[in-house]
Structure 1
Amino acid sequence: MSVWLPSAPCTPGACVEEGRGSAAAVPRAVLRLTLVATLVLAGALLSPLGGRIPAGWVRRWCRAVVRAAGVRVRVTGTAPPTGGLLLVANHISWLDIPLLAAVRPARMLAKTEIRRWPVAGALAARGGALFIERDRLRALPATVAHIAGELRAGAAVAAFPEGSTWCGRAQGDFHRAVFQAALDAGVPVQPVRIRYLRLTGGGTSTAPAFVGDDSLLASLWRVATARGLVAEVEIRPTIPPGTHPDRRALARAAQQDRAPEPCWTHAALVA
């Protein structure tokens, strides 16, 4: 199996909370999705401007997309505003993408399948996403070299080293391949921890999770009909270059502060 293509045990039926919205939630959800679509379309129209758009505007737009979906955003910590940087985060939802870009605009490492997504695929391509063929092991050295070249040139590159989405209670290991690019380029690594919480009652919410054979439309609707969701983005201290001897140690350092919870069954989640 490719290092880019690990498997996760999380599935919609076993791990993901179903919405408990009433009939009144439907018009609110429609409004939210309309706002999300409007913001994404605006981003697609402006994306040809590329680097001419101020980074602060990009960050605000990314947060606005998440807020439009009805999810509050809490960010703690800061990332270096310039210079080559590898941003790495755990992966739960499609919401992770704008959340990570809100930390610092970056070239997103994405699977080639995303290129085929309607609107979002074109937006990702115009935004400079680095698409990888996850099922081609022979492409790994060239992919790592390409990422390292972007980092040396002073770009920020964002990646989800788990290689697959998890429900948020369970989490996967950070795979090492992308960290080799940071070592080769001699740039720092910026770990980011993403969690989705309930505003009332506290605790982790799996409603935003986009796992297994879940469809993007079903995930969008589940998020839009949910109430009281909070995205917590914790920007951890930067790992300077030269502090770890190899990619295994660097990957371990980037994820060592995480404390995964057990993957609960759907029955336990909704009880």
Structure 2
Amino acid sequence: MSVWLPSAPCTPRACVEPAGRGVAALWGVLRLTAVLVLLLGGITLLPLGRRVPARWVRRWARTIAWASGVRVRINGSAAPTGGLLLVANHISWLDIPLLASVRPARMIAKTEIRQWPVAGPLAASAGVVFIERDRLRALPATVAHIADLLRSGAAVGAFPEGSTWCGRAQGTFRRAVFQAALDAGVPVQPVRIHYRLADGPASTAPAFVGEDSLLASLWRVTTARGLVAEVDVREPIPPGTLPDRRSLADAAQPAATPEPGWTHAVLAS
């Protein structure tokens, strides 16, 4: 098990249920095509970095969800400007554009993505922070690099659980990234992401877990009917209010994880 990327017990078969009656297959194909076009367009623009206005990035991120057939509800106040560490629970590939709709940020990603064709080099040129999961000796340098970005006024986005979970189960926030916020003296912005159906019940259909393929997850989301993404922007934790990364992670996690009743137990396989 890696410090950065622990294994989650969630699997599609055990944890992911259908989202109810789906849309017609043709409509699903149209949605999927639109999402892929938007994703490729966003990847192409990644090297432009900060030269792309933040409002355009937010609009692009919201449009991805809309094209997927997912309604987005953002609750809470706007994220502060300046250096900021955004942290959220991690369920789906959709979490990334949802977090960008709160505030565009430089994301932390596993170093394997750097080797992906096309997307890897573009992500690297855009300043994505890559982490080497299996090299503990690289951890201090990575934390120092993130702290430098935060001091420069950048927002950095992280999913401290280290892996995607189905939403009915959740992981523990890893503490290392919070040390960067402490060292840089910047606030931590917890964001809670939750998926449900339009008529109210929580849904694990958007979860991207275990051996699930990205294409299978995309198809499940784009053919679902009535999915809603709730994005709760909680109060930021000001710098200097907590003494160490353990207490900072412990404070951020309850604010960014599901409410009581959305059970912590993994579904039986």
TM-score (norm 1): 0.91
Q: Report if the CA contact (8 A) 1:170-1:262 is conserved.
A: yes
CA offsets per residue over residues 91-139 of structure 1, 9 Å max, x none?
0000000100111010000112333455554553343211111121111
How far off is 1:79 after superposition? 3.6
Q: How does 1:1-271 map to 2 (within 5 A)?
A: 1-18=1-18, 20-21=20-21, 25-117=24-116, 120-200=119-199, 202-257=200-255, 258=257, 259=259, 260-263=262-265, 265=267
Equivalent-residue separation in structure 1 for 2:119 and 2:229 (angstroms): 21
CA offsets per residue over residues 122-179 of structure 1, 9 Å max, x none?
5533432111111211111111011001001110000000001100111111110100
How far off is 1:6 after superposition? 1.4
How far off is 1:28 after superposition? 0.9
How far off is 1:82 after superposition? 2.2
Q: Answer with 153-162 or 51-60: which moved more.
A: 51-60
How far off is 1:20 after superposition? 4.8
The amino acid across from 1:172 in the alignment is G
Gaps of 5+ in 1: none
The amino acid across from 2:33 in the alignment is T
Q: Report if the CA contact (8 A) 2:10-2:266 is conserved.
A: no
Q: Answer with 98-107 or 251-260: which moved more.
A: 251-260
Equivalent-residue separation in structure 1 for 2:133 and 2:149 (angstroms): 19
Equivalent-residue separation in structure 2 for 1:118 and 1:230 (angstroms): 32
Q: Report if the CA contact (8 A) 1:41-1:119 is conserved.
A: no
Aligned Cα RMSD in Å? 1.9
How far off is 1:46 after superposition? 2.8
The amino acid across from 2:6 in the alignment is P
The amino acid across from 1:191 in the alignment is P
The amino acid across from 2:5 in the alignment is L
Gaps of 5+ in 2: none
SS in 2 for 1:73: strand
SS in 2 for 1:243: coil
Equivalent-residue separation in structure 1 for 2:35 and 2:125 (angstroms): 18
Equivalent-residue separation in structure 2 for 1:228 and 1:266 (angstroms): 26
Equivalent-residue separation in structure 2 for 1:117 and 1:102 (angstroms): 25
Q: Report if the CA contact (8 A) 1:148-1:184 is conserved.
A: yes
SS in 1 for 2:134: coil
How far off is 1:59 after superposition? 0.5
SS in 1 for 2:109: strand
Equivalent-residue separation in structure 2 for 1:107 and 1:55 (angstroms): 12
| Percentage identity across paired residues of the two chains | 72
Q: Answer with 108-117 or 7-16: which moved more.
A: 108-117
Equivalent-residue separation in structure 2 for 1:119 and 1:228 (angstroms): 33
CA offsets per residue over residues 222-242 of structure 1, 9 Å max, x none?
111111000100000000000
Equivalent-residue separation in structure 1 for 2:66 and 2:115 (angstroms): 25
| Count of matched residue pairs | 265
